Each structure stands twice: as structure tokens, then as C-alpha cells.
Amino acid sequence: MKVGLFICDCGKNISGVIDNGKLIEHFSQYPDVHVIGDQYLCAELGLNKIIEEIKENKIEQSN
């Protein structure tokens, strides 16, 4: 099963508190996990990016 992990910075609201780069680095080591980080995944363009990533990478579960 391929899992998608989508990490949003929400500008600096989240990334100002959590080191998203380390999360991405850590989870990228797992072969069945597709990780993507972006500043605004929570916005409309980000949602479109998530949908595109799910389709392109055949992701079966997302978190």
C-alpha cells in the first residue's frame, strides 16, 4: 500500500513551530510513503496539488 503524507506549512503558522523539513526527511526514507511539503497545501492550489500527487503516484491512503 502506498501512503501519501502531505505536510502543510500554513505560511509560517505550522513551520514556525514544527521542523517540517525534518519530518519530510524522516518519512521520505520509507519506500511506501510519498511525502510532499508545501507552504499552502491548505489553500485551493494546494488541494489541487494533493489530488494530482495522489493520481500520479497511485496513493491508496493519505494523511
Alpha helices for 1-63 (secondary structure H): 20-27, 44-56
Strand partners, 33: 3
For residue 26, the enclosing domain spans 3-62
pLDDT per position as a tens digit, 19-42: 999 999 999 999 999 999 999 998
Mean pLDDT score of the chain: 91
Size of the chain in residues: 63
Q: How far apart are CA 39 and CA 18, in angstroms?
A: 13
Predicted confidence band at 62 (pLDDT cuts at 50, 70, 90)? low
Q: Which residue has the higher pLDDT, 63 or 38?
A: 38
Neighbours of 13 (CB within 10 A): 11
Q: Which of 21, 6, 13 is nearest to 53 (CA)?
A: 6
